[in-house]
Amino acid sequence: MSKQPRWTQTWISGTRAAGVDLGFPGERLGLPKDGAGSVSGFGRRLGAITVDWLICTWAIARGVLQADPRSSGWVGLGVFALEYVALVGTLGMTFGMRLFGIRVASLDGGRPPFGSVLLRTLLLCLAVPALIWDRDQRGLHDRAAGTVVVRS
């Protein structure tokens, strides 16, 4: 007689514990499992956004623009938004993304259109949409804009 797991063991451990094969992140989007063009992991994305935030708030807002330390967060957020729109809109990546080997792509693999970049940036600046992910490791900001962050 085989011992069946209790029903709580299936939903507490997640869908994979119930024997459901969800595939790898990006499989539903037609992306490779690893290497160039695969979905970027959380660590690379966190590293890239940290570098970009430090550049925008410390180097540009405080250093170049001489913003008051009390308001440098808001000025830095504005600079951050401008950096994202300008660089992701033209190059597909920011300085931090370049450093960590990732880029923003549209679902067909090319550079995202300007409207998608604007929407994605606005939602990224709100932070909460970027913290809610689907099984393809796309935040709500990526889903709304029709983009995905991939390894370059």
Beta strands in the chain (DSSP E): 102-106, 147-151
For residue 53, give every residue at least 6 positions away whose Cβ sits within 8 Å of its Cβ, in sequence order, or none.
76, 80
Q: What domain count does the chain have?
A: 1
The structure's pTM equals 0.81
Tens-digit pLDDT profile for residues 110-141: 999 999 999 999 999 998 888 898 989 999 99
pLDDT computed for residue 63 by the predictor: 85
Q: Is residue 136 part of a domain?
A: yes
pLDDT computed for residue 62 by the predictor: 84
Helices 114-126/72-90 angle, 10° precision = 150
Q: Is residue 32 part of a domain?
A: no
Helices 72-90/42-54 angle, 10° precision = 120
Q: Is residue 142 part of a domain?
A: yes
Tens-digit pLDDT profile for residues 62-77: 888 888 877 778 898 9
**Stretch 12-27: mean pLDDT:** 67
Supply the range of the domain harboring residue 92: 38-151
The one-letter code for the residue type at 54 is: L
Q: Is residue 98 part of a domain?
A: yes
Distance CA 149, CA 109 (A): 10
pLDDT band for 49, please (50, 70, 90 cuts): very high
Q: Is residue 99 part of a domain?
A: yes
pLDDT band for 82, please (50, 70, 90 cuts): very high
| 48 and 99 Cβ atoms separated by less than 8 Å | yes
Q: Is residue 21 part of a domain?
A: no
pLDDT computed for residue 128 by the predictor: 84
| Residue 84: pLDDT over 60 | yes
Q: Is residue 10 part of a domain?
A: no
Q: Is residue 92 part of a domain?
A: yes
